[in-house]
């Protein structure tokens, strides 16, 4: 039951009770024959008791509709500001002056929540920025871990794929009376395995690039990476990258998210085209990567794979959110939004 119907019923019932109560007091005070007054006297050719009931219900309906409508509009305004708060975009200065003190207090609490959210995001980004300033020994440790991880992935993927291709070729060579059709199928399978290994290698090579941008802007580093991809891969890549001013730690995290997303596309998507978008959107920086690959079912294991888990963790470390959509045969879209927190003395 919606709000207007609820108020309509409440006020109609209340008006009827009040009308009956007032009528009873009037009859008792004036000492008239209440039976004749209610059932035989008429107002506008309608018996008095019927007139009282109809009038009470009409007054209740009108009051219920009006008050219900006003309350509904007020709650819709509150809901709209609550949605802004959820997005991290609530600003009390932009809210019109509120006449109801209860609602005004509610908006002030919204603003306190927004301020706390901004402080937490700022602290997260500050922490990410400090982590970007690691000393040389820490960088060497991270690089060592990356090398070990790449070695494991090479052994688990490329090495086994090449071994399988070698075994197939060996079987073909050792067959004294090869059947043409079977040989063609086996050669196509070898070709597929080698192509898959090549994609794995290219994806892994992305991780050999610097972990940080090392003095370059995010725009320049991203464009160099994408130019290199288009020069070496048959994948068609389009992009739009704006020069967004961010803290160094935030830039490094976004660059690594970009690398991880592209790596996942090369290794798993079997895509022919990929689109990358990096823009400033109001108080957020938006990174969006779309491919037309094979996609996957969101509820299955791939949705929580190592690469995607890394992306989620990196986004969370800088106060960002991630939205991923994928459908089998329809491709995958990954969208990362990171708030841009300004210093108090900085002009927005």
Give, in order, the Cα–Cα distances in Å from 197 to each of 55, 163, 201, 230, 266. 84, 11, 6, 19, 11
Nearest Cα residue to 70 out of 104, 106, 108, 100: 100
pLDDT tens for 87-102 read: 766 666 666 666 556 6
Whether this prediction's pTM lies above 0.75 is answered by: no
- Residues 280 and 336 reside in one and the same domain: yes
Residue 84 CB neighbours (<10 A): 16
Boundary (domain end) residue, out of 125, 156, 182:
125
**Residue 133 falls within a domain, yes or no?**
no
In this model, does residue 82 exceed pLDDT 90?
A: no
**Residue 130 falls within a domain, yes or no?**
no
Which CATH number does the domain housing residue 242 bear? Answer: 3.30.565.10
- Residues 171 and 273 reside in one and the same domain: no
In this model, does residue 314 exceed pLDDT 80?
A: yes
The total of structural domains in the chain comes to 3
**Residue 329 falls within a domain, yes or no?**
yes
In this model, does residue 62 exceed pLDDT 80?
A: no
Boundary (domain end) residue, out of 169, 186, 211:
211
pLDDT tens for 183-236 read: 777 777 777 777 667 666 666 666 555 555 777 889 998 998 898 888 877 889
Cβ atoms of residues 257 and 287 within 8 Å: yes
DSSP codes, 239-262: EEE------HHHHHHHHHHHHHHH
Residue 84 confidence class, pLDDT cut points 50, 70, 90: confident
**Residue 65 falls within a domain, yes or no?**
yes
Q: Find tokens 């018996």 and name the residue.
A: 47
- Residues 221 and 312 reside in one and the same domain: yes
- Residues 256 and 348 reside in one and the same domain: yes
Residue span of the structural domain in which 309 resides: 212-348
- Residues 250 and 145 reside in one and the same domain: no
């Amino acid at each position: 039951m919606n709000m207007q119907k609820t108020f309509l019923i409440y006020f109609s019932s209340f008006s009827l009770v009040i009308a009956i109560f007032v009528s009873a007091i009037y009859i008792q005070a004036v000492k008239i024959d209440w039976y004749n007054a209610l059932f035989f006297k008429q107002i506008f050719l309608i018996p008095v008791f019927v007139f009282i009931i109809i009038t009470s219900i009409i007054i209740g309906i009108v009051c219920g509709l009006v008050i219900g409508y006003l309350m509904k509009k007020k709650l819709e305004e509150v809901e709209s500001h609550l949605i802004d708060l959820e997005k991290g975009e609530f600003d009390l200065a932009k809210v019109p002056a509120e006449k109801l003190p209860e609602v005004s207090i509610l908006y002030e609490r919204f603003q306190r929540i927004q301020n706390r959210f901004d402080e937490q995001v700022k602290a997260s980004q500050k922490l990410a920025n400090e982590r970007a300033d690691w000393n040389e020994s820490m960088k060497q440790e991270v690089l060592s871990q990356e090398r070990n991880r790449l070695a494991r992935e090479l052994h688990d993927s490329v090495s086994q794929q090449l071994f399988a291709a070698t075994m197939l070729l060996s079987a073909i060579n050792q067959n004294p009376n090869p059947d043409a059709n079977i040989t063609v199928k086996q050669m196509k399978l070898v070709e597929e395995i080698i192509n898959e290994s090549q994609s794995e290698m290219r994806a892994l090579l992305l991780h050999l690039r610097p972990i940080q941008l090392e003095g370059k802007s995010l725009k320049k580093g991203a464009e160099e990476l994408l130019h290199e991809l288009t020069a070496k891969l048959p994948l068609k890549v389009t992009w739009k990258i704006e020069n967004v001013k961010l803290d160094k730690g935030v830039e490094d995290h976004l660059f690594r998210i970009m690398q991880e997303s592209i790596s996942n596309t090369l290794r798993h998507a079997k895509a022919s085209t990929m689109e990358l978008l990096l823009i400033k959107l109001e108080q957020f920086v938006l990174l969006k990567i779309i491919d037309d690959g094979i996609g996957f079912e969101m509820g299955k294991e791939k949705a929580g794979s190592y690469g995607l888990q890394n992306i989620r963790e990196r986004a969370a470390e800088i106060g960002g959110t991630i939205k991923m959509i994928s459908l089998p045969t329809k491709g995958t879209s990954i969208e990362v939004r990171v708030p841009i927190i300004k210093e108090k003395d900085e002009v927005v």
